[in-house]
Structure formats: C-alpha cells, structure tokens
Chains A and B, each alone.
Chain A
C-alpha cells in the first residue's frame, strides 16, 4: 500500500487523506457500534450490577431500598441454607458434562463418518442431520418431555420400559435417576449438530489417497479409522470438546424444558439453580452471588479456550 501512496499522493480523496492522518481511527470507528453494545449490555451490567448485586438483598419493589448485606448471599450458598443444593448442583453439573460431551462426540463422529460415504441424495441427508440443531432448545426439550411421559403417547418411556423398570408414576421426567437421562437424550439430540458439522468438514479434508494407500497396504476399516481418521481429527476434537464443555455448563433451556430442574432438585444444574433462584424465588441477590462464584470458576476455562483460538493472533 505504501507504494501506491507514494505514487498517487496527488489525487487522494479526502477520506483517504484523513485515514492517512488518523489511521487507527477507522479501526476504532468500525468497531464502535459493537463495542458500545457489548460494553453496555455485557460488560457494564456484569461488572457493576452483577458484582454489586451479589452483596445486596435485592427486592424488585423500587420503593424498598436494597440493603447491603455484605457477604450474606455468599454465606448462604457456602455455609447456610443453600449449601446442600450448591454442592449437589456442582456434582450434577460435572456429571452432566461428563456424560453429555462424550455422548455428543460419539454420535457426531458416527454421523459425520456415515454421511461422508457416497450415498444417493447425500446433500439431503446431510441437511436433515441438522434438524435438531435448527430446533429451538425449548421446543426440543418439550417434545422430549412429552415423549418421556408414562402414558400411551410417551414413546421413549414405552420403549425404555421394555428393558428397564421405569416407575409408571411420573415417567422418566419425574423419577430421580431417569430424569437425568431424560435431559441428556434431549440435550444430545438438540446439540450434536454443531460437532457433526465440524467433524464432517474435518473428515472431508482428509486426502482420500491416504485411505487408498492404506487399503493397498491391507489396513482394515478399524485400523484406517484409528491411524488416519483419528489423528487427522485430533486437533478438531480437542477444540470442539473444549467449546462444548464451556457451552454446556451454563445452559438452562433444555433441563428447564424437560424436567424444570426436578424431581425436586435432581436436574438443577448450576445454570438452572441461578435461574430458579433469580426468577422463580425472585431473590436476585442470592442468584447473583451464585452467578459470581460460577463466573470465577468458568472464566479460566474461557480464557484457555480463547487463548487457543487466537494464539496465531498474538
């Protein structure tokens, strides 16, 4: 660009001359709407309201003051009445992650491998596999909730009760070990599409000559998968698992739509706990305190992910 400048300095337009003078201005200017929005809607409320709120006993009535209560909201979760739910919720959230993410991964990888084969009308099938990802989480959760009822129409219940003894009163969504799996089914159905698309792109980028060579050398399908497909997908798998772990941890919609966090608090994962505390019990101060603790736990994860995403970027 420098050479052009040197030769055409004479007839540069006004906007270009201004840019030459204030080069970094355009960058900031282009960024301004986004920065304002993010600052106003995300950063400002997070830092000021969120932190301050967690030290107050919040009431919605503007006539009442919101008295400072110091660390009381934190105390409630760590040592007080909320302690049992807090610990249980952490345990269930971790369990949820440990089940959902690998389940997602396996289904998505299988789907990507199958749809990478030559099939008639392949673009159609590839598109249809994204049906779940296109569905709103609430609609997906609600459909699964209906299918998991112990009733004539509860297809998942009817199917599962052929093999297991699921209690008939309450079906899958209201009995304690089953409700968890009820949420997991809906979650995987709804969410595996993201991994599937990424894996499909990854599998397609593997040069087919590698498989040809392997075939000539006598490698069977299992060995081809282990020694060609998996090594090629390794970086993608690491990235995608990281993304899904972070993005599953605070999601509320599906557990909320399937079980409402029940039975009692069995599927009240951390995000659901914050939601329930804030917008059902309307104790926003306590919810904010729980949110702050959750944030402290999740920020290192996010930093790790952003680092890995932008490391080419310095």
Chain B
C-alpha cells in the first residue's frame, strides 16, 4: 500500500465525517450528525476536541496502560522469583497469593532453595545439558543457515524455488507430528539419548526459520556489493567471507540467539530424545519435578522455573536490538 492512497482515503473520510455536522460534540457525534451548526467553524471545534485528548487523557492513560501491561507481563516472573526465596511453609501462608519479598533469616539460611537445589536435585547437570544442547544447536544452525540463505538469496541453481518452499514449510510443520517418526529413526540408528542426536534434531527444526530470516537480510544487501569486491580483487567466495559476512553480523547474531532460544525452550523433542539422567534438559526436568513431591519441593520448582526463564530473558534483554530487527523483518514488514 502506498502512502498517497492512504492519506487520500483519510482525507475523504474526514471530509465525509465533518461535512455532515458542525458545532458541539465529538468527532463521532459529528459523523452521525448530532451537531446542528452553532456558527463556529468545525475545524476549530474538532481541533479543540483532539487537543483535550492529547493534553488531558492520553498523557495519563498511556501510563496507566503501560503499568497494567507491565504488571501483567512481569508478575509471573516476579512470582517465581520471590517464591523461590521462601520456604514451602512461607509460601503456603501467602495472602491472596501475592508474594512479597521480606527478609526472613530462616528463608535465607541453609533452607534457601537456591543453596540446596543443586544437591537436592541434579540442577547443575540439567543446566549443563541444556547449555550443551543449546550452544551446539545454535552453532550448527547458524553455520548451515548462513550458507543456505546466501545460496537462496544470491546464487542460481535448479529447483531453487521449490527447495526454498520445502525448507520454509518445514518450520510450520508441528513438531509433535514429527516426534514419533524421528524417535523411531534415532532409536534405530542409536542416536537416542546422545547430545549428537539432540543437536542434529533441534538444528533441523530451527533451520528453516533461520534460513528464511537470513535470506531476507541477504536480499536487502545492495546487489553490487560482491561486484565491487570483485573489482577490488576478491574472488566470489572471498567476497562472501570478507564483505557479506562482516556486514551481516547483526542478522547472524540474531539467528544464533534464535536457534539458542529454540533449543533452550524445547520440551517435546528434549523429552523424547534425552530421557536419561545425563541428557535431561531444564524444561524436561521441571515437569518431572512437578510430578513428584509437588508440595514439599515447592520452592525448588519455583527456583528451577525462575532459572529456566531468567537465562533466556537476560539474553533477550541484552540483545534486544538484534532480535527486534530479526522478528520485525520476519513477518514481511519490510516487504
């Protein structure tokens, strides 16, 4: 859509709206013709209306809305964090369920979940497994996606479009539909309960999205970049490594994080492929914890939940700029 048509549209609408009535009342009232012409110009009147929204309501309402959104968004995180600092007995006496952070010597002594969770449950091992799988997936997915996306964006080969469609469609395919065949396959070739199997499978699931994202980015780079590089004496492959890759650092970083987060978030495939003690990732461990001793281990569950949420959240905060660019371009906003 072009801007001209929209402003024309708008002009037509406002003309129609304000033409029917003048005088007192809001713009809506004007539109239905409630105003019967008080002699004052409609321009003056409605401008004053807009002004009152701009000067009186909006400055207040936007803070109210922001506060509501923020409370809604952050409360579950706060809830998990504060409850993780308490003992189960304290959690069971919360009034209304809104926990408050109070300094309590008992809760901060040896009974604190953050001190004992590592020995009560193998949280250290869960954390390690999750990190190994996530970093491995992110590394492999980024390397594969960079080459594939460049290939789709700039190179020519037979069946290019059909291959691209197949590659992207894979992303939209629900993981649960593939879980069973992949489980059987990995079991047959002995990759069940191995980091290798998990990383390969996770990479295959995150790859389509990464390729799609990076292809968009490569296509937005000026066409003549490689040509200028070659005039300066680079080979075509040299141009890719020395010019295109350094320029694409934001996109590559965001792809890396996306792949990392997808692996970190993954429950289903992790549950199916890494069900033994050594390969249990945090999300899988959390749901197992929930099943056993729900009441007595309440603070451990909250601590584990907060830990599982906090690490990817910190990454998001830190690298927000890249991610927003990546997500924003992904739904064809640029197009």
Give A contacts to B, CB under 8 Å: 1, 4, 8, 13, 15-16, 19, 23-28, 30-31, 33-35, 37-38, 40-46, 48-50, 53, 58, 60, 110-111, 114-115, 117, 119, 123, 125-140, 142-147, 151-159, 189, 194, 197-198, 200-202, 205, 207, 210, 213-223, 227-228, 231-232, 234-236, 239-240, 243, 246-247, 249-253, 256-257, 271, 274-275, 278-279, 284, 287-288, 291, 294-295, 298, 301-303, 305-306, 309-310, 312-314
Contacts and interface: CB of A to CB of B under 8 A. Distances in A.
B316 A134 contact: yes
Interface string B174-214: 11111111111101000000000000110111011001100
Interface of B: 1, 3, 6-7, 9-11, 13-14, 17-18, 26-28, 30, 42-43, 45-47, 49-50, 53-54, 58, 62-63, 65-66, 69-70, 72-77, 79-80, 83, 91-99, 143-145, 147-148, 150-152, 155-158, 160-161, 163-170, 172-185, 187, 200-201, 203-205, 207-208, 211-212, 226-227, 230-231, 235-237, 261, 264-265, 267-268, 271-272, 282-284, 286-287, 290, 298, 301-302, 305, 308-309, 312-313, 315-317, 320, 323-324, 327-333, 335
9 contacts: A1-B230, A53-B184, A137-B267, A139-B309, A142-B301, A153-B99, A249-B174, A271-B174, A278-B180
A45 B14 contact: no
Contacts of B236: 15-16, 19, 26
Contacts of A257: 267, 286-287, 290
| Interface-central residue, A127, A136, A142, by most chain B CB under 10 Å | A136
Contact of A152 (B73, B94, B172, B205): B94
Contacts of A221: 50, 53, 58
Given A250-B175, A302-B173, A284 B184 contact: yes
A134 B258 CA distance: 10
Contacts of A136: 264-265, 267, 282-283, 308-309, 312
A133 B184 CA distance: 31
Sorted nearest first, the 8 A-B pairs with minimum C-beta distance are A250-B174, A218-B46, A155-B97, A27-B157, A201-B328, A41-B204, A45-B181, A27-B155
A310 B47 contact: no
A236 B185 contact: no
Contacts of B53: 220-221
Nearest to A205: B333
A30 B156 CA distance: 11
A216 B11 CA distance: 11
A147 B76 contact: yes
A286 to B, nearest CB: 10
A118 to B, nearest CB: 9
B283 A130 contact: no
